[in-house]
């Protein structure tokens, strides 16, 4: 049978439950995923005085073909985007600035250092998001930045974050879609602290200074991101979930949830509904932790499906900003982007092809038998036929055929670097 014929059969199966599959596809087309640029070069960036990776971040593997210039990185992103259905966004870190060979300190970065990225985004119909880079720098060598006891070091990072928000605002103005500028810091202690409060007090004061500078929310959205622990900060992280959740709520900022930044038994999917009750918007960095925040490529596992369900069933597609955050240097980097992003989109499609309102009704009625039966049966409904049709309709390879394009790109481009 053809893809179209399989799709028509699938449509009939879903229509029995009141699901308009054509409408689902139209909705999905307009859901952007923010794809992280740093998968393509192992979080190296393009600083003239490039530093070794730090901040509790580790990239393993040495697969050939890593991007070493902005042009290579953009070409690799273009290849990945050509294999992913829909129109999306690209997420940048400050270390991806282009300074034409000049050493420019991070607190001196300006919009002009990202003009090439903006021009490229315009050409490809993409939005851009942004992150200040508070790691891999001499002023972060001791693992402290915005909470540092040295005021001069704190001011350096405060100014970097203020400049970053202005760069985000520039992205939003130029591209007609607001940038999400997200602050994550590695601050913490390896061993048990004797004072948990004072570093958090300094972090709060630093954030207050950063956000005191007016930036137009029409063009830039501010987010803060927590972490449970990191390499070198195993015992204490200053920017904990509780700290940032309270700070975001009190100061009307977005709280960003990274799926790898919690205890192994915590799930981000379970946090989404609670946060939507108290926040107009929230942001995600979707990753895959394997025993710790290891940033594995996102797969279509139960937690990813549950995250998508929580977004869809709560009618929050326009309230949850979805970004990705993983990096694996042991496999083809373009393939990693393609696998992870396609899986995020698959999870959203799968969630849209569930009779969510009817399942809610069953729960309210206390009919837990039918609720469980249907939730299980829908796991084997013909979702794959709809996904294949969606890919074909959007002009990207169907099923695993995209892998042949990546293999050819590897031979023709990546292995010649």
Q: What DSSP assignment string belongs to 18-45? A: T--HHHHHHHHHT---EEEGGGGTTT--
Tokens matching residue 415:
């292995």
41 tagged catalytic: no
Task: Determine which of 22-26, 121-125, 264-268, 397-401 has the lowest per-residue pLDDT on average.
Answer: 264-268
Q: Mean pLDDT, to the nearest integer, of 17-22? A: 97
407 tagged catalytic: no
Q: Mean pLDDT, to the nearest integer, of 33-57? A: 85
295 tagged catalytic: yes
> Residue 48: pLDDT above 80?
no
360 tagged catalytic: no
State pLDDT tens for residues 67-122. Answer: 999 999 999 999 999 999 999 999 999 999 999 989 999 999 999 999 999 999 99
387 tagged catalytic: no
- Residue 307 in 3-state DSSP? helix
293 tagged catalytic: yes
Class of the 31-352 domain? alpha beta
- Catalytic residue chosen out of the listed positions 107, 129, 225, 410: 225
**DSSP type of residue 88:** -
- Catalytic residue chosen out of the listed positions 117, 157, 184, 337: 184
- Catalytic residue chosen out of the listed positions 41, 76, 129, 325: 325
**To the nearest 10°, the Cα dihedral for 262, 268, 273, 277?**
40
- Catalytic residue chosen out of the listed positions 261, 271, 305, 346: 261
261 tagged catalytic: yes
- Catalytic residue chosen out of the listed positions 76, 107, 187, 295: 295
| Of 93, 150, 90, the residue nearest 118 (C-alpha) | 90
Do residues 401 and 391 touch, judged by C-beta distance below 8 A? no
Q: Under 8 Å CB-to-CB from 397, ≥6 apart: which residues? A: 83, 391, 404, 405
**To the nearest 10°, the Cα dihedral for 226, 179, 38, 249?**
0
Distance of CA 212 to the CA centre of its chain: 26
DSSP-derived pairing of the beta strands 89-93 and 34-36: parallel
Task: Determine which of 49-63, 258-272, 364-378 has the lowest per-residue pLDDT on average.
Answer: 49-63
- Catalytic residue chosen out of the listed positions 285, 305, 310, 387: 285
Structural element, H or E, at residue 257: strand 254-258
User: What's the pLDDT score for residue 47?
Assistant: 83
Do residues 77 and 337 touch, judged by C-beta distance below 8 A? yes
Tokens matching residue 20:
């308009």
Q: Mean pLDDT, to the nearest integer, of 153-182? A: 98
User: What's the pLDDT score for residue 114?
Assistant: 98
CA angle 28/314/269 to nearest 5° reads 90
User: What's the pLDDT score for residue 55?
Assistant: 65
Segments making up each domain of the chain, as ranges: 1-30+355-417, 31-352
State pLDDT tens for residues 257-268. Answer: 999 999 988 999
User: What's the pLDDT score for residue 94?
Assistant: 96
Give the Cα separation of 194 and 310 in Å (integer).
39
| Of 121, 207, 193, the residue nearest 157 (C-alpha) | 207
User: What's the pLDDT score for residue 291?
Assistant: 86
The residue that leads in pLDDT, 60 or 236, is 236
The residue that leads in pLDDT, 46 or 52, is 46
- Catalytic residue chosen out of the listed positions 47, 76, 107, 258: 258
User: What's the pLDDT score for residue 59?
Assistant: 80
76 tagged catalytic: no
Do residues 347 and 300 touch, judged by C-beta distance below 8 A? yes
Give the Cα separation of 32 and 127 in Å (integer).
9
User: What's the pLDDT score for residue 292?
Assistant: 85
- Catalytic residue chosen out of the listed positions 174, 187, 293, 303: 293
- Catalytic residue chosen out of the listed positions 93, 227, 271, 305: 227
> Residue 52: pLDDT above 80?
no
79 tagged catalytic: no
Average pLDDT, the chain: 95
Sign for the pseudo-dihedral over CA of 208, 151, 55, 138: positive
Residue 175: φ, ψ to 5°: -105, -5
Q: Mean pLDDT, to the nearest integer, of 212-223? A: 96
State pLDDT tens for residues 2-17. Answer: 999 999 999 999 999 9
The position carrying tokens 């796991």 is 379
């Amino acid at each position: 049978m053809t893809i179209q014929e399989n799709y028509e059969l699938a449509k009939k199966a879903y229509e029995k439950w009141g699901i308009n599959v054509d409408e689902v596809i139209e909705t999905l087309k307009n859901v952007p995923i923010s794809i992280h640029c740093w998968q393509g070069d192992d979080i190296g960036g393009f600083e003239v005085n490039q530093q070794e990776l730090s901040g509790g971040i580790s990239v393993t593997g040495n697969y050939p073909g890593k991007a070493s210039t902005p042009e290579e990185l953009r070409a690799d992103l273009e290849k990945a985007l050509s294999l992913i259905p829909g129109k999306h966004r690209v997420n940048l870190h400050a270390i991806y600035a282009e300074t034409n060979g000049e050493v420019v300190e991070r607190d001196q970065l300006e919009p002009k250092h990202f003009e090439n990225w903006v021009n490229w985004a315009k050409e490809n119909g993409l939005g851009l998001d942004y992150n200040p880079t508070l790691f891999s720098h001499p002023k972060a060598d001791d693992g402290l930045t915005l909470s540092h006891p040295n005021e001069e070091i704190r001011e350096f990072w405060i100014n970097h974050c203020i400049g970053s928000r202005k760069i985000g605002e520039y992205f939003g103005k130029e591209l007609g879609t607001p940038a999400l500028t997200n602050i994550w810091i590695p601050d913490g202690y390896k061993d048990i602290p004797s004072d948990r409060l004072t570093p958090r007090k300094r972090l709060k004061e630093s954030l207050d200074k950063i956000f005191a500078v007016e930036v137009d929310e029409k063009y830039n959205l501010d987010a803060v991101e927590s972490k449970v622990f990191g390499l070198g900060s195993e015992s204490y992280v200053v920017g904990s979930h509780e700290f940032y959740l309270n700070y975001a709520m009190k100061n009307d900022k977005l709280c960003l949830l990274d799926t790898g930044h919690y205890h192994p038994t915590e799930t981000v999917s379970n946090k989404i509904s609670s946060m939507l009750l108290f926040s107009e918007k929230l942001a995600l960095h979707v990753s895959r932790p394997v025993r710790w925040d290891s940033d594995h490529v996102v797969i279509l596992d139960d937690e990813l499906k549950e995250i998508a369900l929580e977004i869809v069933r709560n009618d929050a597609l326009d309230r949850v900003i979805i970004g990705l955050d993983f990096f694996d240097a042991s496999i083809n980097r373009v393939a990693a982007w393609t696998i992870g992003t396609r899986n995020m989109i698959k999870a959203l499609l799968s969630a849209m092809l569930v009779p969510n309102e009817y399942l809610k009704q069953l729960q309210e009625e206390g009919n837990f038998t039918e609720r469980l039966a249907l939730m299980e049966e829908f796991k084997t409904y013909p979702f794959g036929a709809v996904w294949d049709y969606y890919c074909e309709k959007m002009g990207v390879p169907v099923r695993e055929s995209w892998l042949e394009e990546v293999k050819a790109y590897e031979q023709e481009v990546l292995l010649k670097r």
